[in-house]
């Protein structure tokens, strides 16, 4: 059954229809802007599940390729959002933008968003910010004591900015296969990083650390549906052979379809890292709403423990104990606090 679109998704569709271009992210930053987030993404911090390091084939690590995209057939309408396929439930369109009391937080988000993605994605920028505001409000309603600025700071820190189509599929960093052609091995595609506030695909492994990954797979499945990504039964079945090369008893789902066809169907470059803006909005992990929902779902599951921004960082860090240390928390929150001190007296 088709669902109606949300405001977020109508804005995204209109943007993508209006601009079918690649936008090079600007270099440098605005005069008087805060110090930029870390230049590289901490892959260890992003991998919240147990990765089978023994699966690494131990092959010599070759230099990365030039990152040329694999030739890919266009995704079918069923695999990518299509007109009229979304449910309502977006932020109130009558609310002023940015919402009252979030002006400084919006400028903080805008700084990193435009630095990393350019200025051609204004509608997507604003819709993403509104969705973050909505999800932060939901946290407050369930008893959390977090702040919008603090959570934005965590998102910016995790993504080393606000790249909407961030990807890292470098073979040299792959936990399952470090050969120079790792992307040809289906299991290796569960050791990539994607999106705004990047998530490591090992979190969605179908047959490793099942207690954790089953919860994460359910969250991703819900986020995919909410964003209108609904592959057909034939689409999902098409990845069965690849899935069974490492999980012989697993039944593929939409989660596996989007991970296993990342190169062949959606054209994400191989053995490289960057911001794949030409595919923004067509690949789920490059649709900010999907990753925003994953980010907040992780926190909302422990709502009673979110007694402060620092506590939220500790929860988000999962098995990485450094996220529960005052020094790490201060480093993360300094992005927002320094900006606020300089720009929002």
CA distance 238 to 232: 10
Q: What is the pLDDT along the chain (345 residues), one digit of tens a residue?
A: 333 334 444 444 444 444 433 333 333 333 333 334 443 444 333 443 333 332 333 222 222 233 333 333 334 444 655 433 323 233 445 678 999 999 999 999 999 999 999 999 999 999 999 999 999 999 999 999 999 999 999 999 999 999 999 999 999 999 999 999 999 999 999 999 999 999 999 999 999 988 999 999 999 999 999 999 999 999 999 999 999 999 999 999 999 999 999 999 999 999 999 999 999 989 999 999 999 999 999 999 999 999 999 999 999 999 899 999 999 999 999 999 999 999 998
25 contacts 117 by C-beta, under 8 angstroms: yes
- Alpha-carbon gap, residue 6 to 11, rounded angstroms: 9
Partnered with residue 166 across adjacent β-strands are 275
Whole-angstrom distance, CA of residue 275 vs CA of residue 256:
22
For 91, which DSSP code? S
Q: How far apart are the first and last CA of the chain?
A: 50
Rounded Cα distance, 127 and 115, in Å: 17
pTM for this entry: 0.76
Separation between Cα atoms, residue 338 and residue 305, nearest integer Å: 26
Give the H or E element holding residue 166. Answer: strand 166-168
Q: Where along the chain do its domains lie?
A: 41-82+101-343
């Amino acid at each position: 059954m088709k669902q109606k679109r949300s405001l977020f998704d109508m804005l995204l569709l209109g943007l993508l229809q209006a601009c079918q271009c690649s936008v090079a992210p600007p270099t440098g930053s605005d005069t008087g802007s805060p110090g930029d987030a870390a230049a590289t993404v901490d892959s260890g911090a992003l991998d919240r599940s147990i990765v089978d390091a023994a699966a690494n084939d131990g092959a010599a690590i070759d230099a990365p390729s030039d990152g040329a995209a694999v030739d890919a057939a266009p995704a079918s309408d069923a695999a990518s959002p299509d007109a009229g396929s979304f449910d309502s439930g977006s932020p109130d369109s009558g609310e002023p933008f940015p919402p009252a009391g979030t002006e400084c937080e919006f400028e903080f988000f805008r700084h990193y968003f435009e630095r990393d993605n350019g200025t051609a994605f204004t509608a997507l920028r604003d819709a993403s910010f509104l969705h973050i505001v909505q999800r932060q409000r939901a946290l407050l309603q369930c008893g959390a004591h977090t702040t919008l600025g603090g959570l934005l700071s965590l998102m910016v820190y995790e993504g080393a900015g606000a790249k909407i189509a961030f990807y890292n599929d470098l073979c040299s960093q792959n936990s399952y296969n470090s050969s120079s052609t790792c992307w040809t091995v289906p299991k290796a595609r569960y050791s990539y990083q994607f999106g705004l506030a990047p998530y490591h695909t090992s979190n969605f492994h179908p047959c490793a650390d099942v207690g954790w990954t089953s919860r994460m797979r359910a969250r991703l499945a819900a986020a995919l549906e909410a964003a209108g990504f609904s592959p057909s039964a034939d689409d999902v079945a098409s990845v069965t052979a690849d899935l069974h090369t490492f999980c012989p008893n697993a039944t593929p789902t939409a989660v596996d379809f989007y991970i296993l066809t990342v190169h062949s169907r959606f054209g994400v470059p191989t053995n490289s890292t960057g911001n794949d803006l030409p595919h923004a909005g067509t690949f789920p992990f490059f649709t900010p709403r999907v990753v925003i929902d994953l980010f907040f779902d992780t926190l909302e599951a422990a709502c009673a423990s979110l007694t402060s921004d620092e506590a939220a960082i500790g929860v988000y860090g999962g098995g990485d104990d450094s996220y529960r240390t005052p020094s790490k928390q201060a480093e993360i929150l300094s992005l927002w606090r320094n900006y606020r001190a300089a720009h929002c007296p």
